[in-house]
Amino acid sequence: MARRKLLVTGVPPQAVIDRAKPAFDVSIWREAAPIGARLAQQAQGQDALIVMPGDKLDSSAIAALPPSVQVLGTYSVGYDHIDLAAATARRLPVFNTPDVLTDSVADLALFLILAAARDTTAAERTLRDGRWGPWAPMSMLGRSLQGMRLGIFGMGRIGQAVAERARAFGMHPHYHNRSRVSPDGERGAVFHAELEGLLAESDVLCICAPSTPELRNAIDAKRLACLPRGAIVVNVARGDLVDELAMFAAVHEGQVRGIGFDVYRNEPRIDERWLRLPNATLLPHIGSATDEVRTAMGMLALDGIQSHFEGRPAANLLNPAAYD
């Protein structure tokens, strides 16, 4: 039997390639620009694809895939870039990479909370620009995390891991989630049935919710006004959960005093107004970017693809109905 063909639309760690090669003829899209509209053509004759979170697989991109493609993996836990209903209708199973990136994203959330509370980006710029003056009691003052209320919007795996870390800094976790989580998941975090109720109690808001059509723009001007004045906002989830214009206004008006963002609309070509915000730590979507985690993500995507060909779909299958 001919060897199966696998196309990966970004360059994974070598260990992932080494694992894939004995099982597949592997092609890798190595250009710096995303594969974009060239996907349909590059996928000709491929049996399986592993795509990147920046590859948009809307219904027309899925319809354009050649019939040879039987299974899809995404190098991400988030799958807002894939029209799952269209994939299911085409009987295309889709696998993602949950769990393995939980800790690294939660670590980065804490980094961003600290950076925003202490305004470390501006402080570092002071040093780098040669503007560092004598030690003075009132210079470069931030806020202490101890005793602050941390509002977690989205109490899934990552939200819970953020809460666990925040407790070590003396913060008090609160959360809003579609449904209340178990006492084991809560570990004393205060549940708010309404997002507005959570925001009113959030000295720091950390956005960890998935991007779903219902949650797009969830953090808009009205909701930002619910925060206590001078709150901090951190986003490690997806850019489209936030109304960016409302966010810029809230920062300029002082309603929000500091932000730490890892995700934006239109990555990587983000709105230039982000760059002019004071007290902002802005990272280029690196939540899962450690060697260990990116390797584990690649392995998990491969597990999914291989499980499909072995006829026993793995637990990271997103659309079991594709097999109906």
Find the shortest distance in angstroms from Cβ 268 to ligand DGY: 13
Q: How far is the CB of 288 from ligand DGY (least distance, A)?
A: 4
Q: 137 Cβ partners below 8 Å, 6+ apart? A: none
**Residue 101 within binding range of ligand DGY, rule CB under 6 A:** yes
Catalytic residue status for 167: no
- Smallest gap from Cβ 302 to ligand DGY, in A, equals 15
Considering only residues 8 to 47 of the shown chain, the ones binding ligand DGY according to CB under 6 A are none
Half-sphere exposure of 186 (CA within 13 A, CB side): 14
Q: What is the CA radius of gyration of the chain?
A: 21
Find how far residue 213's CA is from the centre of its chain. 16
Q: Which one from 238, 257, 294, 308 is the annotated catalytic residue?
A: 238
Q: What is the rounded CA–CA span in Å between residue 172 and residue 190?
A: 9
Chain mean position to CA 64: 27
Q: Which residue in the list 19, 174, 285, 294 is annotated as catalytic? A: 285
Q: Is 59 in contact with 81 (CB distance < 8 Å)?
A: no
Helix (H, G, I), strand (E, B) or coil at 2: coil
Q: Tell me which residue of 60, 89, 92 sits closest to 73, measured CA to CA.
A: 92
Angle subtended at Cα 199 by Cα 101 and Cα 245, rounded to the nearest 5 degrees: 80
> Residue 202 interacts with ligand DGY (CB under 6 A)?
no
Q: Per rule CB under 6 A, is residue 288 in the interface with ligand DGY?
A: yes
Please give, one letter per residue, the 3-state secondary structure of 163-222.
HHHHHHCCCEEEEECCCCCCHHHHCCCEECCCHHHHHHCCCEEEECCCCCHHHCCCECHH
Q: Which residue has the tokens 């053509």?
A: 41
Q: Which is nearer to ligand DGY, 83 or 201 (CB)?
A: 83
Dist CA 181 CA 191 (whole Å):
8
267 is known as an active-site residue: yes
Query: Cβ 53 to ligand DGY, closest distance in Å?
Result: 5
Is residue 272 among the annotated active site residues? no
When binding is defined by CB under 6 A, the residue of 53, 151, 159, 258 that contacts ligand DGY is: 53
Nearest to ligand DGY of 53, 151 (CB atom): 53
Closer residue to ligand DGY in complex, CB, 235/255: 235
Nearest-approach distance from CB 263 to ligand DGY, in angstroms: 7
Q: Which amino acid is at 210?
A: P
- In the bound state with ligand DGY, the residue whose beta carbon lies nearer, of 190 and 317, is 317
Structure tokens at 68: 């040879």
Q: Considering the complex, what minimum distance in angstroms separates the CB of residue 143 from ligand DGY?
A: 27
* Identity of residue 272: E
DSSP class of 76: S
Nearer CB in complex with ligand DGY: 101/162: 101
Residue 227 or 296 with smaller CB distance to ligand DGY: 296
- Residues contacting ligand DGY: total by CB under 6 A: 7
Per-position x/- string for 60-99, each x denoting binding to ligand DGY as judged by CB under 6 A, each - no binding? ----------------xxx---------------------
Active site residues: 238, 267, 285
Instruction: List residues near ligand DGY by CB under 6 A.
Output: 53, 76-78, 101, 287-288
